Amino acid sequence: MKKILIIGKNSYYYSKVRKDLAKIFLLTEISHKDVISNNIKEKENWHKVIIFSRSKNINFFEKIFENYSSNEYILLSSIILELPNNFKYYSYYNEKLRCEKWFFECAPNSSICSVIRSGTIQGSNPIYSTVKNFIDSITKKSSRIRVLTVDQIPHKEPNFLYKFIFSFNYGYILLRPLDYLYKIQQNYIYGYVYAIKKFIVNKEGIVLLKILPNGCKKMMEKITEKLNISPKKII
């Protein structure tokens, strides 16, 4: 079996796919901390380097390409980036977008780099990507950005008012306080997970502000003005 290097051995996502990866590859596992501290356990040219770690510093990616030689580098990212970019005010959206940018910028050769945009792994959320789809995407290189499909199991959804506000462009910004309430309740989807279901799974659209009642329209226009975004912008 070919050797691959796992960066992010403590990742929850990795814990769910580790067993299946071990069936087809010889795994060497290190942590985010090992990369930052230059704790290189083995010097060799890896068949693949798969990055599960989350990072908020470009230095992390610089050290990976400097210290770990490989035929292919794969970054686990999120399907949240398949949402329209007006969802950029979710901090998780920006985090993932920034990491992908750093990943390709730091690579000495982008042709050996690819990104997997996945939902949360099955067993952790009602909206998820399967282990099988992840393994297939690892073993069958197809494109620079590989987007895994998302499945769903029965779950609870926010109330009508939440859905109504969410349906408008940037309406989700008003709902952040309610997201925390749904977070503490069991089996609910909310926030960007609800957006993934609405816009990726169900492929629904966004309502234009011009059809809003005058009162709601003025409220949304004030919010978008403060955020320095166009209330007419639909992506």
How do the domains of the chain map onto residue ranges? Answer: 2-152, 160-226
Residue count (the chain): 235
Residues 139 and 118: their CA atoms lie apart, in Å, by 15
- 2-152 — its CATH code? 3.40.50.720
Residue 59 and residue 36 in contact, taking contact as beta carbons nearer than 8 Å: yes
CB atoms within 10 A of CB 106: 19
User: In angstroms, rounded to a whole number, what is the distance separating the alpha carbons of residues 126 and 136?
Assistant: 21
Cβ neighbours of 174 (radius 10 Å): 15
Q: What is the pLDDT along the chain (235 residues), one digit of tens a residue?
A: 899 999 999 999 999 999 999 999 999 999 999 998 876 656 678 999 999 988 889 999 999 999 999 999 999 999 999 998 889 999 999 999 999 999 999 999 889 999 999 999 988 788 899 999 999 999 887 789 999 999 988 888 899 999 999 988 899 999 988 998 888 887 788 999 999 998 888 776 544 433 344 555 455 555 445 445 444 333 3
Stated pTM of the model: 0.83
C-alpha–C-alpha distance, residues 13 and 200, integer Å: 21
